[in-house]
Amino acid sequence: MSLLEVRKLSVAFQTQGGWFRAVEGVNLSLDRGEVLAIVGESGSGKSVAMLALMGLLPATARIECERLLLDGQDLLGLAPKARRRLNGGTMAMIFQEPMSSLNPCFTIGYQIDEAVRTHLGGGRKARRERVLHLLELVGIPDPPRRFDAYPHQLSGGMSQRAMIAMALAADPELLIADEPTTALDVTVQAQILELLLKLQQERDMGLILITHDMGVVAETAQHVLVQYAGQQVERQAVRGLFEQPLHPYTRALLDALPERAPPGDFLPTIPGLVPGQHDRPRGCLFAPRCGHAGALCQTQEPVWQQLESGPGWRCHFVQGDPPAPVFPAPAALQQGGEQGEQD
């Protein structure tokens, strides 16, 4: 049994202009000890889907899901009390902005201790020991001193370490990291990622890593889920994804990586923007930005296709087994990229 199983998760927000579909039909499953990366541009619904898992969305959100199992336990319609036991207990989450994610009015020690007290309980002394141990575990130097430090006295990297310590307080089985390194210095980014992976391996945790950095994906994940405009457009093992991307969007993302870009003056980009609430295309959501889109793409929504060997994608192209890269030469895409840049 997998640790996490999500089938057809959809999230919509009530706005003044009607319902905004932020996440549509996301499926995923994750095993213990596995790292799953979710990639996509801003606004692709990566964070929203994970916040939905954690039950952290505002009341204006409507969540629909066929199946949502964590460790065999149904998360749908969970009573608030049971939900609180899970949050910070079995599943924990760390966020993009470590500085603002910590409460400025309380010490680091107090905030980590809250998680320990809520889920493990125990006497004051034992809890303090646990917090100091956690601080040491995440590589914060001089834990007894940092215990009494306020968030504003810590750097971004240290704050994220403290957030990780808080998330690990009750030995969660699933850790969701929402762009944990985006707000940090480049040098610190690598350290934090390394720390996350080390802890994940030591504790055999399932780790969901939300990112828009393909480099991070390549280094860390076993499986990758590509999201676009709230839809899942591709899902496969990391190796396959980099060697043989199945969806034009994935390919375009990879082509935009400097280290993979064909030599030339311009780095390929994807022209246009992610569709918003009011300009959603009728057919494939990516069609307006896709270098390969044909008449069918404009009018008809593509269905999810899945190979028995695992990879799946949402596109009218590439059918059959094994999948053949039948896209036109990347030149077409590259051209599109240049136009996009001049726009």
Partner 1 sequence: MLRFILQKILLLIPTFIGITLAAFMFVRLLPGDPVTILTGERGVDPERRAAMMAQLGLDQPLPLQYLDYVGKLLQGDFGQSLATHRPVTEEFFARLPATLELALFAILIAIALGVPAGILAAVKRGRWPDHLVMGVALTGYSMPIFWWGLLLIMLFSTGLGWTPVSGRLDIINYYFEPVTGFMVIDAWLSGERGAVASALRHLLLPSIVLSTIPMAVIARQTRSAMLEVLGEDYVRTAYAKGLPTWRVILVHALRNALITVVTVIGLQIGVLMAGAVLTETIFAWPGIGKWMIEAIARRDYPAVQGGLLFIAVLVMVVNLIVDLLYGWINPRVRDGR
- Residue whose CB is less far from partner 1, 207 or 224: 207
CA distance linking residue 215 with residue 199, whole number of Å: 20
Taking the complex as a whole, how short is the minimal distance between the CB of residue 294 and partner 1, in angstroms? Answer: 43
Residues 113 and 109: their CA atoms lie apart, in Å, by 6
Which residues contact partner 1 (rule: CB under 8 A)?
Answer: 54-56, 80, 83-89, 92-93, 95, 97, 100-106, 114-115, 118-119, 150, 152-153, 163, 166, 169
Residues 70 and 83: their CA atoms lie apart, in Å, by 12
Question: Minimum CB separation from partner 1 for residue 341, in Å?
Answer: 34
Decide whether 169 or 285 has the Cβ nearer to partner 1. Answer: 169
Residue found under tokens 């049971």:
82
Distance CA 271, CA 135 (A): 44
**3-class SS at 107?**
coil
Residue 296 CB, nearest distance to partner 1 (Å)?
42
CB of 187 to partner 1, least distance (A): 24
Task: List the beta strands (DSSP E) in the chain.
Answer: 4-15, 18-30, 35-39, 61-64, 67-70, 73-74, 91-94, 174-178, 206-211, 223-228, 231-237, 304-306, 312-314
- Measured from the CB atom, the residue of 82 and 126 that comes closer to partner 1 is 82
Toward partner 1, which CB reaches closer, 81 or 278? 81
What is the nearest approach in angstroms of partner 1 to the Cβ of residue 322? 42
Residue 5, phi then psi, degrees to nearest 5: -135, 120
The position carrying tokens 């994220």 is 160
Least distance between partner 1 and beta carbon 42 (Å): 17
Nearer CB in complex with partner 1: 104/258: 104
Please choose, from the candidates 203, 154, 204, 160, the residue with its C-alpha nearest in 3D space to the C-alpha of residue 179. 160
Comparing CB distances to partner 1, the nearer of 15 and 100 is 100
**Which positions ≥6 away from 329 have C-beta within 8 Å?**
none
